[in-house]
Amino acid sequence: MTGAGPDRTSSQGRFITLEGGEGAGKSTQIGRLRDWLERRGHTVVATREPGGAPGAEMIRKLLVEGPAERWDGTTEALLHFAARRDHLRVTVWPALERGDWVLCDRFADSTVAYQGYGHGLDLKVLDRLYAIAVGSFRPDLTLILDLPVDRGLARAATRRGTETRYEGLPSDFHERVRTGFVELAAAAPGRCVVIDASRDVETVAAEVADTVGQRLGA
């Protein structure tokens, strides 16, 4: 029996996820949002997926480094959900129980977009994996940073480091991922908000903060 996470009726913590394709600026916007929330007196935990806990970070290296053809979609999904379970158990759920606000760079919507839409994995399989690893727990708010694929990949290409495995996949894969995020947002308007990430950082940050304030009363 999987844990369903903290009692959201009694906890004052909030779980906000930022999603989007490569180069969408999620890490930058999490930093801006963290500062904005802390100025309002909230204790904030910024984290990421895959990763965010020691075991999950070990799995992250398997997923984001190395050749693009290393794993198929099913293997990737299994690794992502294994990392996600560790991340929730070790980092996210304890923080929410403390009443912290948790900002996460990617969550399960990325798995649906990348492994489901991108690699063509049956979405029902992903639903079953979610039920096993996560249970009934859901983010309070998901902000999807959207921009054209070519612009996102160009931004991502300027980053240094070894985490370039997904960036090496063909552009049509990334187009399917973008479509996936847009369709996920349309299917869950109560949780998801699409934000135009092609604009300058400050404009995007202002809309992110305004959305969080309106939706969650920050």
> Any idea which residue has 């290409």 for tokens?
157
| Residue 163, in any domain of the structure | yes
| Residue 70, in any domain of the structure | yes
CATH number, domain containing residue 204: 3.40.50.300
Residues 6+ apart with CB under 8 A from 31: 46
Tell me which residue of 4, 82, 16, 6 sits closest to 216, measured CA to CA. 16
Q: How many domains does the chain have?
A: 1
> What three-state secondary structure class fits 36?
helix
What is the reported pLDDT for 154?
A: 85
pLDDT of 123-158, one tens digit each? 999 999 999 999 999 999 999 999 998 888 888 877
| Residue 1, in any domain of the structure | no
Residues 6+ apart with CB under 8 A from 201: 25, 28, 29, 32
pLDDT of 50-75, one tens digit each? 999 999 999 999 888 877 778 888 99
| Residue 7, in any domain of the structure | no
Question: Taking CA 76 as the corner, what is the angle to CA 103 and CA 162, rounded to the nearest 5 degrees?
Answer: 70
| Residue 5, in any domain of the structure | no
| Residue 9, in any domain of the structure | no
| Residue 8, in any domain of the structure | no
> Are the C-beta atoms of 112 and 184 separated by less than 8 Å?
yes
| Residue 19, in any domain of the structure | yes
pLDDT of 166-198, one tens digit each? 777 788 999 999 999 999 999 999 999 999 999
Q: How far apart are CA 4 and CA 2, in angstroms?
A: 6
| Domain, as residue range, for 194 | 14-216
User: What is the average pLDDT across 208-217?
Assistant: 96
Tokens describing residue 196: 């135009």
Tell me which residue of 117, 139, 151, 189 sits closest to 25, measured CA to CA. 151
